[in-house]
Amino acid sequence: MPADQSSDFSYLAVVVFTFVGIAFIAFNLLLARLLSPSAPTPEKLTTYECGVQPIGDAWRQFNPRYYLFALLFVVFDVEAVFLYPWAVAFRQVGAFAVAEMLIFVGLLIAGLIFAWRREALQWE
Amino acid sequence: MSMQRLHPRSASQAREILIGVVIAALILAALSATPLLPWHLLDPIRAYFYERPLLNNLAKAVLLVSFMAVQCLFLIWMERKFAGWLQARLGPMHVGWKGVLQTFADAIKLLLKEDIIPALADKPMFRLAPYLVFVPAMLTLMVLPFSPNLVGFDYHLGALFALSISTTGALGILAAGWGANNKYSVLGGMRAVAQLLSYEIPMILIVLCVVTLKNTMSLTQIVERQAGLWNIVAHPLLMIPGALIFFSCALAEVYRAPFDLPEAESELVSGFHTEYSGMRFAIFYIAEFANNVFTAGFAAILFFGGWHGPVLPPIAWFTLKTLLLIFLMMWVRWTLPRLRIDQMMSFCWKLLVPASLILFCLTALSVVW
């Protein structure tokens, strides 16, 4: 089968595959519901905590470190969105494009060093 | 106890190894014979499907889903046998030859198990999470070229697509952890997301190095441009460190030891899928092993020439390379102890991220000069 060219290109495959994936899970869960027993008791439906009575629920404050790393991730992920088109186009522009990219990555490295010095990468 | 007792080398063991070698040789021979089969008889069927894109994609999708279910059964058996061998025990032995049908029995057992949703859970999110984990795993496998013809969706931005979709799997894991309203699950979900997002950065940068070298984002093109010379041989100074960083990230992306903090048994029971049972649990497992196949296959494509290789047909080479990389991941998993979360995060942000940034700059400079 010939490859999809960018000219006659469609995202039909993504839609169909997503749909088939959802259908596969739904079918399996339906099958399991038909075949498996269902006899819930209050004890069976308690939250599992190694036999100890759970105190309160689990939706509470969490470590703010996760938030800092999420912020850093966004910075570097957006950078990737810029660099991927650059990687397939910079041959046409030449050395100037490489110099620009080096400045861009240099800024990122400076940001990483800043975060490092401010102990944002420290996990305690 | 002497080493002789721990690792008995008997005549029966030699015979088992011989049987294994013969079976592997037979499978390879069968795969090598596939180009000789009368494939042209299928041409009318192919033409029929090619004229109907919807039907064509539907057939491919069904094929991929079946592949995902079957690879999971085989890989779990392989992992259990391998773990047994490393720990000087036998592993599954009773169902079928050398326990090869054990995972089929397990699948049937999971299908027949009661599906329990804890009373305190956020039920819509608890039900939604398996979909959010499984569908991204499937969409990443979709763009992976198994051979020149065998690819679900030959996308010209394949590398970028695969990376972005594989990150969305974190959403499903957080939904699973949060929806269960269990302290272990929430902690596991949080750790999973932090780990996946952090290790995504060096992974993206290493894939970017390959994209820069090969001047294309299409995975099939990346493989085709490695004909004759694999990336790791063609650019050893850039690609050997690149492959090592990629492999570390791949281990973290599929939550394998030493990076198995999200499901650390000794701390978090089972992490984000503690409260899942029956078929929903099985779906998490299928997605996990599908991610395993994807990262191993992705590494084979980026560094080891994908389907290229002498004598054997493309599909056999790709399968061999992927299986070998999965085997390597299992080996690491059953050898190394788990890292602490602070060690894991500083390994990524203080070593892998700067190293991959520098590697990317060097790659760009090497292309210009």
A48 belongs to a structural domain: no
Best of A29, A35, A113 to mutate (most B CBs within 10 Å, chain B): A29
Mean pLDDT, range A55-83, rounded to an integer: 81
Do the domain assignments include residue A107? yes
Choose, out of A15, A47, A86, A104, the residue to mutate when testing the contact with B (most B CBs < 10 Å).
A47
Dist. CA A113–CA B38, nearest whole Å: 61
B206 vs B356: CA distance, rounded Å = 6
By Cβ distance, the residue of B208, B346, B354 closest to A123 is B346
* pTM for this model (two decimals): 0.85
Considering the domain boundaries, does residue A69 fall inside one? yes
B250 versus B17: which is more confidently predicted?
B250
Nearest to B139 among A17, A32, A76 (CB): A17
Residues B85 and B102 in one domain: yes
Do B59 and B161 belong together in one domain?
no
* B111: nearest CB among A32, A54, A124: A32
Spell out the residues 6+ positions from residue A48 whose beta carbon is closer than 8 angstroms to its own.
B118, B182, B184, B269, B274, B275
Q: Which of B362, B233, B356 is nearest to B303 (CA)?
A: B233
Tell me how many domains chain A contains: 1
pLDDT at B246: 92
Please indicate, yes or no, if residue B47 is contained in any of the structural domains. Answer: no
Number of domains in chain B: 3
SS3 content of chain A, % helix, strand, coil (to 5): 60, 0, 40
Residue A15, domain member (yes or no): no
| Helix residue ranges, H only, B215-273 | 219-224, 231-234, 236-253, 265-268
Contact A76/B at CB under 8 A: yes
Number of H helices, E strands in chain A: 3, 0
Q: Is the same domain home to B253 and B223? A: yes
Written as six digits, the tokens of B192 are: 């999973």
Determine, for residues B135 and A21 on separate chains, whether the beta-carbon distance falls below 8 Å: yes
Contact between A57 and B120 using a beta-carbon 8 Å cutoff: yes
The answer to whether residues B368 and A95 touch, using CB atoms and an 8 Å cutoff, is yes
Burial class (CB in 10 A: 0-12, 13-18, 19+), B35: exposed
DSSP string, B75-141: HHHHHHHHHHHHTTS--S-SSSGGGTTHHHHHHHHHHHS-----TTS-HHHHHHHHHHHHHHHHHHH
Question: Quick check: B50 pLDDT over 50?
Answer: yes
Quote the percentage of chain A above a pLDDT of 70. 92
Residues B81 and B205 in one domain: no
Q: State the DSSP code for B143.
A: T
The answer as to whether B321 is a domain residue is yes
Q: Is the peptide bond before B258 cis (omega within 30 degrees of 0)?
A: yes
- Quickly list DSSP for B301-316: HHHS-TT--SSS-HHH
- Which residues of chain A make contact with B112, given a CB cutoff of 8 A? 32, 35-36
CA of A110 to nearest chain B CA: how many angstroms apart?
A: 11
* ipTM at complex level: 0.81
Instruction: Answer whether A102 sits within 8 Å of B278, measured CB to CB.
Output: no
Q: How many whole angstroms separate alpha carbon B132 and alpha carbon B179?
A: 13
Question: What's chain A's average pLDDT?
Answer: 80
Has residue A52 been placed in a domain? no
Q: What integer pLDDT is reported at residue B294 of this predicted model?
A: 92
For tokens 């850039």, the residue is: B238
Q: Are B97 and B237 in the same domain?
A: no
Verify that B104 and B201 share a domain, yes or no. Answer: no
Query: Which residues on B lie below 8 Å from A114 (Cβ)?
Result: none
B58: chain A residues, CB-CB within 8 Å:
16, 20
In this structure, is residue A37 part of a structural domain? Answer: no
Based on the fold, state whether residues B145 and B95 are members of the same structural domain: no
What tokens does B50 get?
Answer: 């090619």
Question: Does residue B227 lie within any of the structural domains?
Answer: yes
Instruction: Pick from B208, B214, B341, B369 the residue to mutate for testing the A interface (most A CBs within 10 Å).
Output: B208
Q: Note whether A121 contacts B360, CB cutoff 8 Å.
A: no
Supply the range of the domain harboring residue B229: 121-369
The answer to whether residue B238 is domain-embedded is yes
Same domain, B172 and B290: yes
- Report the alpha-carbon distance of residue B288 to residue B337 in Å, rounded: 20
Q: Indicate which of B168, B349, B350 best probes the interface with A, i.e. most A CBs within 10 Å of its own CB.
A: B349
- Helix A12-35 crosses helix B102-112 at what angle (to 10 degrees)? 70
Lowest average pLDDT, out of B183-187, B270-274, B279-283, goes to B270-274
Q: Residue B7 above 70 pLDDT?
A: no
Structural domain including A73 reads 64-117
Model confidence at B98: pLDDT above 60:
yes
Residue A48's nearest CA partner among B188, B194, B258, B105 is: B188
Does the distance separating the beta carbons of A76 and B201 come in below 8 Å? yes
Q: What percent of chain A has pLDDT over 90?
A: 2
Token pair of B62, please?
């069904």
Q: Are residues B224 and B254 in the same domain?
A: yes
Rg for chain B (alpha carbons), in Å?
Answer: 22
A32 touches chain B (CB under 8 A): yes
- Kindly state whether residues B92 and B217 are assigned to the same domain: no
Residue B267 pLDDT greater than 80, yes or no: no
Q: Is A14 on the interface with B (CB under 8 A)?
A: yes
- Positive or negative: CA dihedral B243, B244, B245, B251: positive
Residue A47 belongs to some domain of the structure: no
User: What share of chain B in percent tops pLDDT 90?
Assistant: 6
Which two three-digit tokens encode residue B112? Answer: 């027949």
For residue A123, tell me if it sits in a domain: no
Residue B313 distance to chain A (closest CA, Å): 18
**CB atoms B212 and A87 under 8 Å:** yes
CB B69 within 8 A of CB B110: no
User: What is the rounded CA–CA span in Å between residue B369 and residue B358?
Assistant: 17
Same domain for B316 and B209, yes or no, is: yes
**Interatomic CA distance for residues B9 and A20, integer angstroms:** 48
pLDDT at B1 over 50: no
- Residue B46, in any domain of the structure: no
Question: Are both B27 and B133 inside the same structural domain?
Answer: no
